Amino acid sequence: MAPVQQASVASGAPLVQIGAFDSGAIAESEWSRVSARYGELFSGKAPVVQEHKAGGRTFYRLRVAGFDNRDDARKFCAALIEAGTDCIPAVAK
Residue type, 71: D
Cβ(44)–Cβ(83) below 8 Å: no
What mean pLDDT is predicted for residues 58-74? 97
Confidence band for 2, pLDDT divided at 50, 70 and 90: very low
**Torsion sign, CA atoms 16, 21, 23, 27:** negative
Rg, Å, the chain Cα set? 12
**CATH 3.30.70.1070 at 14-91, yes or no:** yes
pLDDT of residue 26: 98
pLDDT band at residue 5, thresholds of 50, 70 and 90?
Answer: low
Residues 6+ apart with CB under 8 A from 43: none
Instruction: Give yes or no for a contact between 15 and 91, defined as CB atoms under 8 angstroms apart.
Output: yes
Could you tell me the residue ranges of all domains in the chain? 14-91
Instruction: Read off the pLDDT band of 23 (50, 70, 90).
Output: very high
pTM of the complete model beyond 0.85? yes
pLDDT > 70 in the chain, percent? 92
Is residue 20 classed as helix, strand or coil in its secondary structure? strand
What's the pLDDT at 4? 58
Closest to 13 (Cα-Cα) out of 61, 60, 67: 67
